[in-house]
Amino acid sequence: MSIQSINELRTSLLGNGGIPLANRFFIELPAIGNAQMPQVNMLCKTMNMPGKQIATVDRQVNGTLEKVAYAALWDEVTLTFHPRGDFLIKKYFEEWQNMSFDMTNEGEVYHKPKYRSEYEKDVYLYQVNKDDGEVSYGCKLLNAFPTSVNAIGYSDDNKQPIELQVQLTYRRWANMNIT
């Protein structure tokens, strides 16, 4: 590799914000109940940006098998949090989940589903540049809601902080076209 090629590679890697770091992200969750959003967002330890998979089916054309797209598929987004001692983040997601069902009927407890419009909210995920702290990439989860608030594991083996994992599903996601 020539010096010119190395310089071109270096310029390419370091230009336009450099290589993004995995620890430079933040999320914007919707207001649910009395949760203070900046505090909730700061407690996020990990998140994953959504991807997209194109589902295909084999179709025979003139004796040749071809793959033809028939659907777009999205994985759920997983968020991992370090709860505070007041378990604000756990209470936040439990309250959001409870918005999807009517839990009472004249003293009896049951789970009557509500309309999607009553519990679906938009969620924003961002990648931040390491140098200037500006957002370099963002996506919007449209009509999202938590499908799973996982159990919290406890152990007397060590003094590690507890973690809470939450899965969000959504109708689709959109790139926010940040420049």
Q: Which residue has the higher pLDDT, 91 or 4?
A: 91
Count of H-run helices and E-run strands, the chain: 3, 11
How does pLDDT run across 145-173, given as a tens digit for each residue? 999 999 998 888 778 889 999 999 999 99
Pairing of the two strands 164-169 and 121-128: unpaired
How does pLDDT run across 44-91, given as a tens digit for each residue? 999 999 999 999 999 988 889 999 999 999 999 999 999 988 888 898
Residue pointed to by tokens 């450099």: 18
CA terminus-to-terminus distance, the chain: 32
CATH class of 34-49+56-175: mainly beta
How does pLDDT run across 96-132, given as a tens digit for each residue? 998 998 776 666 667 788 899 999 999 999 998 877 7
Domain residue ranges of the chain, discontinuous segments joined by +: 34-49+56-175
Give the residues across from 163 on adjacent strands: none
DSSP state of 11: H
